[in-house]
Structure 1
């Protein structure tokens, strides 16, 4: 066990967050609160544009809730911190891209954590499951998210049986974006993060808010809110220097210089 379960690295506009809590990177209440503070820092820092979340070591990404800590008194309905379990599941106004680099076993709340990211890259030895059914509890966030991400019957089988799937099957159902050989996982994740970091941050913010808010709307209601600039991020984008810079750069046949304002 370590006193510093979360390691962070700033690399230009990219913020790397490593859950490093041997032996398995399980999350207790204290760790979840730290993760919330860390991701709140990322959200609120204008110099940071993209985050990576991964696990320490090569065997575990995250198995989710720390059952040993629960046995010692951590309440399953306790204070998870500002962003909910794992720091990002319920973080308000998280309008920056997050990439999950799944470096091993990813189950329970760990899978829910990965599903909270925008893009999921997985090592070829990664595996996935929702084993809560076997311990007599519910994978609450996964019960909401997973049937919307992959075929309903596949999601329900995972929820109702706790069945494990490998990276190949996860990719086949669209749960993850792609599979990467384990030794290359972080290099490819960082390359993708750098690519995103070079992009227009105000557009990313608008995309994330639209996708998040439109989930509970009809298509026409969502489009009306966009065209009437009722999303704060869309209004900021349409009034921004970056909006004009994009048009000028296209006309001048050059790469745009994004300022995020």
Structure 2
């Protein structure tokens, strides 16, 4: 295991999983510009390091992220990274899978970090909200358009227009979450899921995520026409030979990512 800490974010790698932990519990893990840059660098590392397969984003101290630090916002700070947006994530999610492990509040930009992730595990007391309208702001770090994509239209609009949060149970019922777990165990369960993903063929995982997202607005006929650009390299790879061979020989596959 390797770990680095910036004072506001902890980044550690273990068994192909990169865990990014926002570490400002006294401020409910409110996002700062410095933290956003650390997260951006970690996500670039996730995509560029062939030994890393999956990322996890979480927060310390029982809160995921309460959005941007409003005290610093009043002083003119914006917790964004050029080309990557709020938190170094929302405008440029990684090509590899990213799991949000949520305890407590995911508010404003914090919820928008969740919406930019691929899978979500939440403690049963977690809450998700877009309260920007109550502060004279708008959810412009992806919330305005991502919430209506993943939630029923009426539910998303109620969140956006009232600023009131969803409970974990309600979020699960609307398909926003993958798991609701005992409080305090979201990161553990996220790591379990990450280990399953990390054991799969990396080229296949990356291509599956990429086209699943790229095809959202395509018709079936369009998707079948376009998907070859994503899937042909997977079928032509060494891993596509290794996978069936390992199955026939009843042994674990040895993926090379090539």
Partner of 2:28: 24
Q: Deviations over 1:89-118 (max 9, x none)?
A: 2226x2211111001111101001011111
Q: TM-score, normalised by structure 1?
A: 0.90
1:98 aligns with 98
2:38 & 2:185 partners in 1: Cα distance? 28
Normalization by structure 2: what TM-score?
A: 0.91
Partner deviation per Cα, 1:156-201 (whole Å, 9 max, x = no partner)? 1011101122111111111111111123222222111111111111
| 1:254 paired residue number | 251
The equivalent of 1:148 in structure 2 is 149
1:238 aligns with 2:235: yes
**Residue pair 2:10, 2:20 contacting (<8 A) in 1 also:** yes
In the alignment, which residue of structure 2 is the partner of 1:67?
70
1:62 match: secondary structure: coil
Q: CA RMSD in A?
A: 1.8
Alignment of structure 1 residues 148-227 onto 2, 5 Å = 148-226=149-227
Change (3 A) 1:168 1:57: same
Asked if 1:54 is matched to 2:58, the reply is yes
Instruction: Return structure 1 stretches of 4+ with deviation > 6 angstroms.
Output: none
Counterpart-to-counterpart distance in 2, 1:148 and 1:79? 23
After superposing the two structures, state which structure 1 stretch, 184-193 or 105-114, moved more. 184-193
Q: CA deviation at 1:120?
A: 0.2
Provide the C-alpha distance between the structure 1 equivalents of 2:8 and 2:100, rounded to a whole number of angstroms. 17
- Provide closer, same or farther for how the CA distance between residues 3 and 69 of structure 1 changes in structure 2, counting only shifts above 3 A: farther
C-alpha separation in 1, matches of 2:195 and 2:248: 25
List runs of 5+ in structure 2 lacking aligned partners: none
Gaps of 5+ in 1: none
- How many residue pairs get matched? 252
Q: Is contact 2:130-2:163 (8 Å) kept?
A: yes
